[in-house]
Amino acid sequence: MTCEHALTARLSLPSSSTPVYKEECTQCFDNQDTAEGVDVCLSCFNGGCPGGPYNHAHQHSMKSGHYLTLNIRRIAKPSSDSDERPAKLTKLEIREDTGADDFEYHTFVRCWGCSGARVESGLENIDPTVQAVIHAVEASKGHEIKAWAEEVTACQHFNDLSGQAPRDGFSLDTLHQCSACDKRENLWLCLTCGNVGCGRRQYDGSGGNNHGISHYEATGHCVSVKLGTITPEGTADAYCYTCDDNKMDPHLAAHLKVFGINVAAQQKTEKSIAELQLDQNLKFDFSMTTADGAKLEPVAGPGLTGLKNLGNSCYMASVLQCVFGIDRFRDRYFPTAADHFATCTQANPAQCLLCQLHKLANGLWSGRYANLETDSEGRPTHQAGIAPSTFKAAVAKEHYEFSTMRQQDAFEFLLHLEKQVDVVERSVNSGNSNPNKVFDFTTEERLQCLGCQKVRYRVEPARSVSLPVIKRPLDSGFAPVSLAECLDVMTAEEAVDGYQCPECERPTQAVKSTRFASFPKVLAVQVRRFELVNWVPEKLDISVQVPLGEVSLEAYRGQGIQPGEEPLPESDDISAAPAVTSQQQPIVDEEVVGQLEAMGFPRVRCVKAVSKTGNCGAEAAMTWIFEHMDDADIDVPEAVAQTESSLAAVNPAAVEQLAAMGFARDRVERELRNAGGDAERALDRLLSIPDDEADVTMESAVEPAADDSQSRNSAFELTGFVSHKGSSVHCGHYIASVRHGSGTDSKWFMFNDSKVVAQEEPQPEQAYVYFFTRLD
Q: Write out pLDDT tens, residues 295-308.
A: 788 999 999 999 99
The answer to whether 266 and 230 have CB atoms below 8 angstroms apart is yes
Q: CA 683, CA 706: separation in Å to the nearest integer?
A: 26
Contact criterion met (CB below 8 Å) for 203 and 533: yes
Contact 745, 341 (CB under 8 A): no
178 among the known binding-site residues?
A: yes
Q: How far is residue 5's CA from residue 429's CA, in Å, rounded to a whole number?
A: 38
Instruction: Determine whether the annotation assigns residue 355 to a binding site.
Output: no
Contact assessment for residue 624 and residue 609, using Cβ atoms and an 8 Å cutoff = yes
The mean per-residue pLDDT over the stretch 353-377 comes to: 94
Mean of pLDDT values over 315-344: 96
- Of the listed ranges 51-65, 446-460, 528-542, 601-615, the least confidently predicted one is 528-542
Long-range Cβ contact pairs of 613-616 (< 8 A, separation 24 or more): 615/587, 615/588, 615/589
* Half-sphere exposure for 457 (CA within 13 Å, toward CB): 22
Answer whether 357's CB lies under 8 Å from 421's CB: yes
At residue 591 the predicted structure's pLDDT band, cuts being 50, 70 and 90, is: confident
Q: Which is the catalytic residue, given 157, 221, 255, 733?
A: 733
The yes-or-no verdict on residue 708 having pLDDT over 70 is no
Dihedral (CA of 248, 251, 257, 261) sign: positive
Q: Is the pLDDT of residue 351 over 90?
A: yes
Strand runs (DSSP E) across 452-519, as ranges? Answer: 455-462, 464-468, 481-482, 494-501, 506-516
Q: Write the CB contacts of 80 (distance below 8 Å, at least 6 apart in sequence).
A: none
Strands 530-533 and 715-725: unpaired
**Selected catalytic residue, list 28, 222, 314, 449:** 314
Say which range, 127-136, 264-273, 442-451, 704-713, has the weakest mean pLDDT: 704-713
pLDDT at residue number 587: 59
CA distance 262 to 260: 6
The answer to whether 454 and 573 have CB atoms below 8 angstroms apart is no
CA–CA gap between residue 193 and residue 201 (Å, rounded): 23
Q: What is the DSSP letter of 557?
A: B
pLDDT at residue 268 in the model: 66
Residues 533 and 451: beta-carbon distance below 8 Å: no
**Residues contacting residue 680 through CB under 8 Å, at least 6 positions apart:** none
The Cα 320–Cα 324 span in angstroms is 6
Q: What is the CA radius of gyration of the chain?
A: 30
Spatial distance between the Cα atoms of 535 and 599, rounded to a whole number of angstroms: 8
215 among the known binding-site residues? Answer: no
Q: How confident is the model at residue 581 (pLDDT cuts 50, 70, 90)?
A: very low
At residue 686, what is the residue type? L
Among residues 597, 621, 595, the alpha carbon closest in space to that of 608 is found at 621
Residue among 776, 749, 766, 670 at smallest CA distance from 302? 749
314 is catalytic: yes
Strands (E), 55-211: 68-76, 103-111, 117-119, 187-190, 196-198
Query: Which among 392, 311, 389 has a CA at the least distance from the CA of 21?
Result: 389
Query: How does residue 583 score in pLDDT terms, banded at 50, 70 and 90?
Result: very low
pLDDT tier at 153 (50, 70, 90 boundaries)? confident
Sign of CA dihedral 179, 181, 183, 187: negative
CA distance 47 to 56: 9
The alpha carbon of 596 is separated from its chain's Cα centroid by a whole number of angstroms, namely 20
Cα–Cα distance for residue pair 165/168, rounded to 1 Å: 9
| Max CA separation in the chain (angstroms) | 91
Tell me the mean pLDDT in the region 630-645.
Answer: 58
Residues 424, 206: Cα–Cα separation, whole Å? 47
Please indicate if the annotation marks 358 as binding a ligand. no
Mean pLDDT of 171-193: 93
pTM of the model: 0.74
* SS3 assignment, position 483: helix
- Which of 630, 632, 627, 629 is closest to 688 using CA atoms? 632
